[in-house]
Amino acid sequence: MSTLKKEFKEVAELVDEKLDAILPEPKKGRIGESRLAEAMRYTVLGSGKRLRPFLVVKSADLFGVSRSSSLQVAAAIELIHAYSLVHDDLPAMDDDDMRRGKPSLHKQYDEATAILAGDAILTFAFEVLAHHSTHHDPAVRSDLVLSFAQSCGIAGMVGGQMMDLMSEDREMTIEDITRLQRMKTGALFAISCEAGAILGKASRSMRSALKAFAYDVGLAFQITDDLLDAEEGVENPTEDERHDKSSEKGTFISAMGKERTKKQVEVLTSQAIEHLKPFGKRAEIFHEFADYVVHREF
Ligand code: GRG
């Protein structure tokens, strides 16, 4: 097994343990809470590549941050990612019946439960970030909460998702698409790397370098995802795939075709790696990560 795969596995196991330990448990007699706790556990635990937690832990490692701190933040980013998938799968958005190899949350439960469980997961993520066990310094916790809120909200993931929905019935320039994808997908990658720097009280320049790396890798990740989507199921698309194809207006492929899009991924990857120069050899795992992101097959 390659070093990166081993490290992925190690971090994923630690994050899964942490999530299992902190997620609310269903309790006898508390009907509403128990249904939500079950739904939260159903959707968060058990699968997913745990890429964003990996970035949190590895960027925190650069600054000698304790694993007890970085794993709390790694759990928080995975919670936010999980909530975004639950809401994205709803009929009002991407309308996906399956997620991570099992029925999406609204299919397993119902739409109202999926909306509320998504809300509860997002809120819980902020509870974890603000908790004293995440970092002894309240200024660090406050910085984490602020930076996560900025990345997830109107100027980040949620704003990007809105733009994506609106892209279906308007012309999008390459600049629009870049902004959309940076917000929708890049922002969570960026905060994952930035979080390690916040936990480690890193200098502004180190923090910006990691964030810039993550934005470029996040964009490369999203474009690779679109390329994988476009290449899969072309001959016999399923209902869900047909739906995806028709809503691909906000992608680079729709704006500049597959070949130029592939070149764009290469440019972004080398640009991402350039940002890591200040870290020298210490950032080798991030080089491997960037390479994995663009060469993955799923
Ligand atoms: C609904 C607020 C809201 C936001 C939705 C992230 C997002 C915005 C939607 C998810 C749908 C999607 C295809 C997003 C692009 C980013 C992406 C490829 C997400 C999947 O991430 P992976 O591959 O998933 O890391 P796993 O399951 O491995 O965690």
Q: How far apart are CA 249 and CA 130, in angstroms?
A: 38
- Please write the tens of the pLDDT for every residue from 125-153: 999 999 999 999 999 999 999 999 999 99
pLDDT of residue 195: 98
Contact 50, 106 (CB under 8 A): no
> What's this model's pTM, rounded to 2 decimal places?
0.93
Q: How far apart are CA 129 and CA 119, in angstroms?
A: 16
* Residue entry with tokens 């930076």: 147
CA of 89 to the centre of ligand 1 (A): 10
- Please write the tens of the pLDDT for every residue from 200-214: 999 999 999 999 999
% of the chain surpassing 70 pLDDT: 94
- DSSP bridge pairs for 200: none
Position 231 confidence tier, pLDDT thresholds 50, 70, 90 = confident
Mean pLDDT over the full length of the chain: 93
Position 198 confidence tier, pLDDT thresholds 50, 70, 90 = very high
- Please write the tens of the pLDDT for every residue from 89-117: 999 999 999 999 999 999 999 999 999 99
Neighbours of 99 (CB within 10 A): 21
**Is pLDDT at 228 greater than 80 in this prediction?**
yes
**Is pLDDT at 245 greater than 50 in this prediction?**
no
- Pocket, ligand 1, Cβ cutoff 6 A: 48-49, 51, 81, 84-85, 87-88, 93, 100, 157-158, 161, 184-185, 222, 225
